[in-house]
Structure 1
Amino acid sequence: IGEIPRTLLLAERLNLTNIPWANLGEFLGPALTITALGAIESLLCGAVGSNMTGIRLQANQELIAQGAGNMLIPFFGGVPATAAIARVSVGIKSGGQTRLVSIVHAIGLLLSMFLLAPVMARIPLTALAGVLMVTAIRMNEWQAIRFIFDKRFKTDIIAFGITMLATITLDLTKAILIGSVLAGAVFLNKIATLDVDIQEIDPEKLKAKGIQTEGKCQHVRVAFVTGPLFFAATGSFNEAFTSLGNMHAVILSMRGVPLIDTSGLEVIRRLYGRIHKQGGTLMFAGVHDNARVMMERGGLVEEFGQENFFWSSDQAIVEAEKRGCKFCEQPTLTKC
C-alpha cells in the first residue's frame, strides 16, 4: 500500500489565508459538480441500504450531515467524501443494524492508522483487490439482476450493461452519473407515451347507464386522454386532433392525465382556439386535481369558463345536447 500518515493534521490542509479569493469564481463550476456527484452517490448508497434493511432513508438528514462533514474535512487535509456503497453493504451483510456500525468502523480505521500503520503499509495491493472482489460479489443484488435478465427487460439490461462498463472503464462516480442520466432518459421516453382515443357518442351505452339522450347530434366527440401531458407528449396530442372536422362539442376526458406542464397547457389552449373559431365548444371531464390546479394557475379555467368542466364525460354529453348544435340546423349537413 505504501506509507500511511499517522496524524490527523496533514501538511496540505486548508488554510484560509492561502485561498485565492480573487479567482474564487473559477472554482465554482468544479465545486458544484463535486457537490452534485457526492449527493447522487450518497443518496444512491442510502437507497441501496434502505432496500437491504427495509428502513426508510432520511435523505435530508443524510445530505446535511455529508455537507457539514465535507466543510470540516479540508481543515484536516482531507478531500470531499461521500457515503460508500461497499462499506454500507458489508456492514449490513455482517449484521449491522444501528449507527454504531459507522462509529465502530471509524474508530477501527483510526486505531489502525495510529497503531498498525507500519504493518498496513506492507499489505500488497493484490490482497486488497481480492478483498474488494469478495465485497463486490456480496454487495450485488443477484436476485434482482437475475430477474431483469430472465424477464428480458431490454431497457434495464442495456442500462445495467452500460453502467457496468462505465464503472470498469471510468470510475464509480462517473458510472453513477451516466447510469442516472440514462435511466432518466429511458423513463422520459416511457412516460412520453400519450394515448388519445376519440370516440363518437353511443346512445345505447348511455341508455344502459340510465342516461336518457336524444342521440340526434353527431357533432359531439369524446377524447379519452391517458398519460402525462407534458412537453414530450404534445406532438402526440396535436396529431390526434389533426383530422377532427367541425364539431359542436369536443369533450376531453382527462381522468387518465396525472399531470400537465406549461407546454400541455399551451396545446390545450390552441385546441380550444381552433374549435372555438369553428363555432364549437371544448369541454373537460374528470380533470385530475393536480392537472386542475395547473390549469387554474395557467388561467385556462377562467378563460374556458367553469361551466365547461364536468365530473364525468356523461354529464358533459348531456350538457352538450342541451346547448343545441348549430351545425344540425344547416340543411347542407345531413348527419343530424
Structure 2
Amino acid sequence: MSDQRSGLVSFKIRPSLLSVLKAGYSLPLFTRDLCAGLTVGVVALPLAMAFAIASGAPPERGLFTAIVAGALISLLGGSRFQIGGPTGAFVVIVAGVIARHGYEGLVVATIMAGFFLMLMGFFKLGKVLQFIPYPVTTGFTAGIGLYIFSSQIKDLLGLQIGAQPPEFIGKLESCWSGIGTMQHGAVIAGGVTILAMVLIRRFCPRVPAHIVGIVSSMLVVWLGGLEVETIGSRFGGIPATLPSFSMPHDFLALAATMLPDALAIALLAGIESLLSAVVADGMTGERHEPSTELVAQGIANVASGLFGGIPATGAIARTATNIRAGAVSPVAGIIHAITLALFMICLAPLASLIPLASLAGVLCIVAWDMSETHKFARLLRAPRSDVFVLMTTFLLTVLVDLTVAVQVGVVLAALLFMRRMSEVGNLRLGGAGDQQAEDLSNDSRAACADSAFCPSSVMIYEIEGPFFFGVAERFLGVLHSLREPPKVIVIRMDNVPTIDATAIHALETFIAHASRMHIQLVVCGLQERVTFVLTKLGTLNRFGDGNVLKDLKSAMLRADNLALSSM
C-alpha cells in the first residue's frame, strides 16, 4: 500500500528560486536579473494590454494578470527563466467566454483551470501534456493567429462599426460592411507601428520592437495632429492602482457551466507553459521541473482570477527575451512584475494616450508570428492522416471554438495513434508450406524444419510487440484466413512485453474458436509480466495441462506429441 501511495506522497514543490538561493545569490547576479527584468517588463507592457483588449476585456485586466500571475510563476515555478502572463493563445477562448458569460464567467473558468493545473502537477502529468501531437498544436496555434488578426481589423482601420460578433465569419462580415467608415489616422498609426516593428526586428533585433512601434506611432499621431481612438477615449484610461482581491459572487452557480472552458484553459496553459520551459531549457542548457511548473501555473491562475486578471501561462517570446537580456534566475521574472506594477502606479495616464490602432498593429505582428506559416505549409506535405488532423484543428479553431478544436484534435490524434500502434505489432503465421514458413523468424523456421509435422499439422503463430486492443482484431482474424486448419498451433510470445484486457479477451476467444475447430493450442515464451497477468485472470488454465511452455523448442516437441496423438 505504501508503494502505491509513495508517488503522490513523495511529491514536493521544488521552486527554481529556492535552488538558486541555496546555490548562492550574489550582487552581480542580481544586477543581471535587474537589467533583464526591466527589459522584459518594458516588452510585456504593451502586450499585456493588447491581449486583454483583443480578448474583450479592459487593458488593466492584462496588466493585473502580468503582475499577479507573472510574479507567482517566477516565485514558485520550476523553470529559472519562465516569464508568465497573458498570451495570444488565450485570445480566442477568453473572447468566447466573455461573449457568452461575461467577465464573471471568465473568472470562474480561470480559477477552476488553476485547480486543474495544480492537480496535473500533483499527479505528475507534465510529461503527458508534452505528448500532444505536433499537428494539433500547429493547427490550433495557426488558427489562433488568424483569429487574432481578424479581431484587429476593426481597430487597425479605425472602423466605426460598434461591437463585433465573436465568430470569425461574423467579424469579417462586420468589417466588410463598415469599410466605408475607415479612418485614415488609424491606418497611418497602425501602419507606422507595423513598419517600425518590422524594421527594428530586421536591423536591431535586440531593441524591443513593440515599444519602438508604439512610441513611433504616438509621435506620428502627435506631430501630425491625427484623430485616432486611444485607450483613454475608449476605456477611460488605466487605473493608477494595484489589483485588489475580489471573489466571484456566482461561483457555484457558474461552475458546472464553465467546466468545458476551464478544462480547455488548463490544457492550453499546461501545454504552452511547458513548451515555453522546454524552449528556455534549449537556450540555456538548464532543466525545468514540469510538475512544479504546473502547480505554479495553477496557483498563478487562481490568483489571477481572484485579483481581476485573465488566464495566464508561460510566454515563449517574453521568456526568450528574458534569457537574451541576461537573466540568471527567477528574480528577473519577479522584477518584470514589479516593473509593470510601478508603471500602473506612476505612468498610467501616459498609457491612455496609446492609439488602439497601434496596439492592433502590435497584435498583427504577434498573429503572424503565431501562425508560423512556414511550418504550417510544410506540414501540408506530411502523411494524409496528419494533414487531416492539422486542417481539422485549424478550421475548428477559426470557425467553431478553440475548446472544441483542442478536444477534437486530441481525440483524432489518439485514434490515429491507436491505428499506427496496431500496425507496429507484428503478427506472423507460418508452417503450412515453405512460402508461409518464410514469413517466420529464423529460429522459428529452424524449429519448424526440425518438427516432423510442421509442414501440414503444426503451425507457429508469432506475436511481436505490445499485445493490446489495437492488435487484437488482427489476431482474431488468423483462424478465418486458414484454408486447411492444422492440428496444432504454437503461439509464440517471446517478444510481447505487455498485454491488456482487450488482447486477453481476444486470446480467450481464439482459444474457444480453436477448440470448436478441434485445433490444439500451445503457448510459449511468456515474459514474467505477461505470465503474471494471464495467471491472475485464469487465462493460462484454458490452454490445458502441459500446453504452456518456456521456450519454442519444448513447445515444438509438445506440438509434435499432440499431433501424433490426434492421428
TM-score by length of 2: 0.47
Gaps of 5+ in 2: 1-230
Alignment map for 1:59-70 (pairs within 5 Å): 59-70=290-301
Q: Which residue of 2 aligns with 1:183?
A: 413
Counterparts of 2:445 and 2:419, CA distance in 1: 39
- Shift, 1:211, TM fit: 8.9
| 8 Å contact from structure 1 (residues 286, 311) kept in 2 | yes
Look up the match of 2:343. 112
**Paired residue for 2:474?**
236
Offset, 1:135: 3.8
Partner Cα separation in structure 1 for residue 444 and residue 402 of structure 2: 62
Matched, 1:14 2:253: no
49-58 or 199-208, larger mean C-alpha shift: 199-208
C-alpha spacing 1:252/1:51, structure 2 compared with 1 (3 Å): farther
In the TM superposition, what is the alpha-carbon distance from 1:153 to its structure 2 partner?
A: 2.9
Deviation at 1:76, TM superposition (A): 2.4
Equivalent position of 1:213 in the other structure: 450
Which amino acid in structure 1 is aligned with residue 473 of structure 2? G
Whole-angstrom CA distance in 2 between matches of 1:298 and 1:92 = 55
- Counterpart position of 1:253: 492
Secondary structure of 1:321's aligned partner: helix
Aligned residue pairs, count: 320
Q: Relative contact order: is structure 1 or structure 2 higher (C-alpha 8 Å, sep ≥ 6)?
A: 2
Which residue in the other structure is 1:299 paired with? 538
Matching residue within 220, 226, 238 for 1:4: 238
Matches within 5 A, 1:133-152: 133-138=364-369, 148-149=379-380, 152=382
Shift of 1:320: 1.8
Aligned equivalents of 1:89, 1:140: Cα separation in 2: 18
2:359 alignment counterpart = 128
**Number of the residue aligned with 1:273:** 512
SS in 2 for 1:224: strand
CA-CA distance at 1:41 after TM superposition: 1.3
1:262 aligns with 2:501: yes
Percent identity reads 27
Question: Hey, what does 1:162 align to over in structure 2?
Answer: 392
Q: Superposition pairs for residues 35-114 of structure 1, below 5 Å?
A: 35-52=262-279, 53-54=281-282, 56-85=287-316, 87-88=318-319, 91=322, 98-114=329-345
Among 33, 55, 65, the residue aligned to 2:260 = 33
Per-residue deviation, residues 228-250 of structure 1 (Å, max 9, x unmatched): 44344433222222134544322
Q: Which segment drifts farther, 275-284 or 60-69?
A: 275-284
> CA offsets per residue over residues 101-157 of structure 1, 9 Å max, x none?
53233223322322232222332333233333434555677786565456x333333
> 1:78 is matched by which residue type in structure 2?
G
- Structure 1 position 19, deviation (Å): 5.1
- Whether the 8 Å contact between 2:273 and 2:313 is mirrored in structure 1 is no
Partners of 1:196 and 1:224 within 8 A in 2: yes
- Going from structure 1 to structure 2, the CA distance change for 1:276 and 1:170 (only over 3 Å counts) comes to closer
- 1:319 and 1:291, CA in 2 relative to 1: closer, same or farther beyond 3 A? same
Q: Secondary structure at 1:222's aligned position in 2?
A: strand
> Residues 86 and 139 of structure 1 are in contact (CA less than 8 Å); yes or no, is this contact kept in structure 2?
no
Alpha-carbon distance between aligned partners in 2 of 1:232 and 1:207, rounded to the nearest angstrom:
25
Q: Is the contact made by 2:458 and 2:486 (CA closer than 8 Å) also made in structure 1?
A: yes
Structure 1 CA distance, aligned partners of 2:337 and 2:545? 63
TM score, norm. by length of structure 1: 0.74
Equivalent residue, structure 1, for 2:522: 283
1:11-30 superposed Cα distances (whole Å, 9 cap, x missing partner): 8x216xx557xxx3x54434
Alpha carbons of 1:154 and 1:19: their partners in 2 closer, same or farther (altered >3 Å)? Answer: closer
Looking at structure 2, the residues matched to 94 and 39 of structure 1 have their Cα atoms a distance apart, in angstroms, of 29
**How far is 1:269 from its partner?**
0.5
The structural deviation recorded for 1:268 is 0.5
The alpha-carbon deviation at position 200 of structure 1 amounts to 0.6
